[in-house]
Amino acid sequence: MYLLPTVVLSLVVDFIAAHGSDQSFLDNTLLRKHQVQNVLEHQTATVAGCKHIPTGPIETTKCDYETIESVNGELYSQLNDLVRTPFFRYFRADLYRECPFWQENGLCMNRECGIATVDESEIPEKWRAASLSKVEMPPDEMRNTLPGCYYRDSDFCFLDDMTEGDYIDLTMNPERFTGYSGAPANRVWSSIYKENCFGISEVMLRSERHDPANSFADALRGELEEQDEMCTEKKVYYKIISGLHASISTHICRDYLNQSTGEWGSNLQCFVTRVASHPERLQYIYFNTVLLLRAFARLGPYLSAYDYCSSGTHEEDAYTLTKLGSVIGIASVVGQFDESSLFQGQDANVLKEEFKTHFRNVTRIMDCVGCDKCRLWGKVQTSGLGTALKILFELDERALDPKTNPNLLSRNEVVALVNTLHRFVESLQFVDEFRRMWAGVDKSQSHALIREAEEAVTSQRIHDESDSYLDDEYGPDGSRLPRRWNLFVEVKRRIQHILRVCRVSTIQCLRRVLTDSAEVLRSVFARSDKMQGPHSDL
């Protein structure tokens, strides 16, 4: 009976890995010790570092973290004022379309999930749906239409039909903790990350880089031999999605509801667990900020020529343009993203279309979010990122000329782009707030915060792997049969999990060895349908 724990402990002793050397969160190495301290004890730069010199280290960009940090305070101040102007406050969205991918029954019943809409009579006439649809809606032959939404061939996202939906004041519905979590939320994020699979187009591109004459079979063989290799476009896609996830998490942790006291405040434990324990997530917030700033810089002339007036006096229009001009000026200096390095080569168009398809699907997955406020901000930010991608990868300088193409973007696209940039810049401001909070905790508190984050990560891994002990079996017709429990797979899974725990903490390692081993033995005798002995698979 004690053989299994002994074997497991022996394996653990043999395979415990070293933690690695201390490094900054700016490093590209993702597996290191003290990552929480490196994130929260990092000193924010106040002086630009790159000065247009392409030294990185923000991958796929021409600038560095310090440069973004040096301008972020001013950028945040200008954007914070800009998103409160009449034009950028109101966003029209259809929050009640059915989920196109699965039956969604997990509606959030918490009060914080709800949103406050604005009566259309309160919206300036020129911004109402009836007026905008006459100007902004492309002809039917230029768009691909689905119920309630559409996209043009150049679009990276689905856009809501302007004849549907409600007007929402974004300043009255801030992005923050709503209590929407568990299986419904996990299903949404899982579906989003599954859109990261690029398939044949990536295989073909890799093949082309090795030998243009290779057949698809040779390309696939190379794919299997180089599983760790990833094309730049796919890396960019993953960083965009992961950076969005990290930014949303940062906002949730910054405006967190203590359900015991009913008070709102910053939750340092939440931030340590969700972001600081994974420095690459913070890196991707910086990455998205650079990407959005580059799009902003390219769109500068168009944005400067846009009509933001609603009152007829042009005073608020002038104020909006002043704030916008400040943001464009900063973006022109630090938005050093090289879009020309992507989607190049013989099959680049194939990869770009696949990229678009995946990102469009992500924007449609937003209709599966069961929390109205979460769905709103998901729509805003995926639309904003999709607009930035269109600006960078679909539009040349002539298309961006406001004189020749005054109706290039819909009002919703402009509003989404500005508010999305504000979200990421605000996230970096919030990170500094969490750093100040971290500086105020004593050593025992900091250890407790890290320990709880480690346990949360461990628990999540168990949850993610909870079905891995089940074998997939298929019938004669190829259909999947009910999954069967397998002791060998179960033991293998638990050993792998124990090894991960042991890399984090020796105490947790020993505790996990004992509890997991006992649980496996218990499960052997609990899996029988009649609870009368070991499972027949044994």
Confidence of residue 384 (pLDDT cuts 50, 70, 90): very high
Give the chain's domain count.
1
Mean pLDDT (the chain, rounded): 76
Q: Number of C-alpha atoms within 13 angstroms, CB side, residue 39?
A: 28
- C-beta separation of 94 from 167 below 8 A: no
Radius of gyration of the chain (CA): 25
Decide if 67 is inside a domain: no
Distance CA 196, CA 355 (A): 9
Distance CA 430, CA 274 (A): 14
Give the DSSP per-residue string, 253-280. Answer: HHSEEETTTTEEE--HHHHIIIIIT-HH
Phi, psi of 502 (to 5 degrees): -70, -25
- C-beta separation of 55 from 67 below 8 A: no
Distance CA 137, CA 362 (A): 22
Three-state DSSP class for residue 91:
strand
Decide if 407 is inside a domain: yes
Q: Which residues participate in catalysis according to the annotation?
A: 371, 374
Residue 239's closest CA among 286, 275, 271? 286
Distance CA 98, CA 516 (A): 42
- C-beta separation of 389 from 129 below 8 A: no
Q: What is the pLDDT of residue 362?
A: 94
Distance CA 226, CA 207 (A): 11
Give the DSSP per-residue string, 169-211. Answer: EGGGS--------HHHHHHHHHHHHHTT--THHHHHHHHHHH-
How many residues are present in the chain?
538
Distance CA 69, CA 58 (A): 12
Q: What is the pLDDT of residue 126?
A: 73
**How wide is the angle at C-alpha 76 spanned by C-alphas 400 and 286, nearest 5°?**
75
Q: Which of 103-107, 271-275, 340-344 has the lowest mean pLDDT?
A: 103-107
Q: What is the pLDDT of residue 64?
A: 80
Decide if 13 is inside a domain: no
Both tokens of 525, joined, read 């005798």
Distance CA 406, CA 410 (A): 10
The stretches of 44-169 forming alpha helices (DSSP H) are 65-82, 86-89, 129-136
Q: What is the pLDDT of residue 505?
A: 53
- C-beta separation of 127 from 167 below 8 A: no
Decide if 396 is inside a domain: yes
The stretches of 30-125 forming alpha helices (DSSP H) are 35-40, 65-82, 86-89
List pLDDT tens digits, range 411-443: 999 999 999 999 999 999 999 999 999 999 999
List pLDDT tens digits, range 445-501: 999 999 998 888 777 665 554 433 333 333 333 333 343 444 554 555 556 556 655
Decide if 140 is inside a domain: yes
List pLDDT tens digits, range 25-66: 665 444 346 788 888 888 787 766 554 443 445 777 777 888
Token pair 């203590």 is found at 258
Range of the domain at 157: 90-439
- C-beta separation of 291 from 392 below 8 A: yes
Distance CA 61, CA 167 (A): 36
Confidence of residue 223 (pLDDT cuts 50, 70, 90): very low
Decide if 340 is inside a domain: yes
pLDDT, greater one: 471 or 394: 394
Phi, psi of 66 (to 5 degrees): -60, -35
Decide if 209 is inside a domain: yes
E strand or H helix at 237: helix 232-254
Beta strands 470-474 and 480-485 are antiparallel
Q: What is the pLDDT of residue 31?
A: 39
Decide if 485 is inside a domain: no
pLDDT, greater one: 171 or 406: 171
